[in-house]
Amino acid sequence: MGEDIRSGRIYGHARYTALYDLELGNFREDLAFYRRHLPANPCAILELGCGTGRVSRALAADGHRLTGIDLSFPMLAAAGLAAPAPAPHYACMDMTALAFRTTFAAIIAPYNTLNLLTNPEGLRACLTQVRHLLVQDGVLLLQLYIPDQGLRALEGKKRFQFRIFDCPDGSKVIKEILKSTTPQSCLVEIMERYRLRFRKDQPDEDWQYTYQILGYGFEQWREIFAGQGFRLEAAYGDYGLTPFVPEEHTTLLLALRKGAGSPQ
Average pLDDT score, the chain: 91
Mean pLDDT (whole number) for 58-87: 90
At 247-261, the pLDDT tens digits run: 899 999 999 999 876
Give domain status of residue 263, yes or no.
no
In the chain, pLDDT over 90 holds for what percent of residues?
Answer: 73
pLDDT band at 87 (very low <50, low <70, confident <90, very high): confident
39 and 17 within one domain: yes
126 and 220 within one domain: yes
Range of the domain at 134: 2-146+215-258
Cα–Cα dist 200/234, whole Å? 49
Query: What does R_g of the chain's alpha carbons equal in angstroms?
Result: 19
CATH number of domain containing 15: 3.40.50.150
At 30-68, the pLDDT tens digits run: 999 999 999 999 999 999 999 999 999 999 999 999 999
pLDDT band at 8 (very low <50, low <70, confident <90, very high): very low
Cα–Cα dist 5/207, whole Å? 8
246 and 119 within one domain: yes
244 and 173 within one domain: no
Q: Which residues in 151-187 are b (16+ Cβ under 10 Å) and which e?
A: bbeeeeeeeeeeeeeeeeeeeebebeebbbbeeeebb
pLDDT score, position 38: 98
Q: Calculate the dihedral angle through the C-alpha atoms of 240, 143, 25, 176, rounding to the nearest 10 degrees.
A: -100
138 and 160 within one domain: no
Cα–Cα dist 176/194, whole Å? 6
63 and 119 within one domain: yes
pLDDT score, position 218: 97
Pick left, alpha or beta for residue 17 (phi over 0 → left; psi -120 to 50 → alpha; otherwise beta).
alpha
Cα–Cα dist 198/78, whole Å? 22
pLDDT score, position 21: 87
Cα–Cα dist 106/39, whole Å? 8
- Of 12-16, 17-21, 23-27, 108-112, the least confident: 12-16
Question: How much is the pTM?
Answer: 0.91
133 and 236 within one domain: yes
Please report, for residues 77, 143, 201, 249, 255, the alpha-carbon distance to residue 222 in angstroms, rounded to integers and kept in the order given. 35, 13, 52, 15, 11
Provide the residue count of the chain. 264
28 and 78 within one domain: yes
Give domain status of residue 264, yes or no.
no
136 and 61 within one domain: yes
